[in-house]
Amino acid sequence: MAPAKIAPSMLSSDFANLASEAQRMLSFGADWLHMDIMDGHFVPNLTIGAPVIESLRKHTNAYLDCHLMVTNPLDYVEPLGKAGASGFTFHVEVSKENWQELVERIRSKGMRPGVALKPGTPIEEVYPLVEGENPVEMVLVMTVEPGFGGQKFMPEMMDKVRALRKKYPSLDIEVDGGLGPSTIDMAASAGANCIVAGSSVFGAPKPEQVISLLRKSVEEAQ
């Protein structure tokens, strides 16, 4: 089984103090820092891009887990590679034609490729990307509609996680959206091992306790 990885979503952090917020999360036991990159087109919101990743990279050696909610992910590969991104997760909905080229380019820039899918996308659409000659290394199952933080967790998405875990026992399976103390057990028991949590961590009086609880739930489920 793939090890537990807790990835606080920096979208919920204080962007005016991004470096110190990143260090705070790592000191609380976070494994990765989840970076939401939105283009205002694939999703209505507009967030950060390569310049922010580059700036943050100067202050941390942490794994920067970049989730690309963009229409043209190929355009972002070179700038994010130069900026120091660690993981590059693109959406299957915009990459059906050129995903093999995309994965090759991501790897060539020293990043780890992953694929994400929206709640309305059938899980079967990512299977070719996991099983291909040049496979992705992670699947991100969105448990809310991508684009905004603070949404309610969709428990019905756990069927996708269960299907993935049964088919690929050692795959990194990430879940993102509405994860916190009240929903983590559903995600962990379904087989998710990479947990993105935003408001439930940053809004907690003691974020370190939430991170610890999320990890414990994943490890006990395994």
Please give the average per-residue pLDDT across 174-192, as a whole number: 97
- CA neighbor of 182 nearest in space, from 159, 148, 152: 152
List domains and CATH numbers for the chain. 5-221 (3.20.20.70)
Q: Which pTM does this prediction carry?
A: 0.97
Tell me the binding residues for a divalent metal cation: 34, 36, 67, 176
| Cβ proximity of 14 and 51 under 8 Å | no
pLDDT, greater one: 152 or 148: 152
- Chain-centroid distance, C-alpha 173: 9
Answer whether residue 1 shows pLDDT above 80. Answer: no
Answer whether residue 165 shows pLDDT above 90. Answer: yes
Sign of CA dihedral 186, 29, 201, 126: negative
CA distance 20 to 52: 14
Tell me the binding residues for substrate: 9, 67, 147-150, 178, 198-199
Annotated catalytic residues are 36, 176
CA distance 202 to 204: 6
Mean pLDDT of the chain: 97
- CA neighbor of 144 nearest in space, from 7, 37, 43: 43
- Per-residue model confidence (pLDDT) at position 147: 86
Please give the average per-residue pLDDT across 94-107, as a whole number: 94
Tell me the binding residues: 9, 34, 36, 67, 147-150, 176, 178, 198-199
- Per-residue model confidence (pLDDT) at position 97: 84
Q: DSSP for 157-172, please give it.
A: GHHHHHHHHHH-TT-E
Task: Name the β-bridge partners of 34.
Answer: 9, 65
- What does the pLDDT look like over 33-69, one tens digit per residue? 999 999 999 999 999 999 999 999 999 999 999 999 9
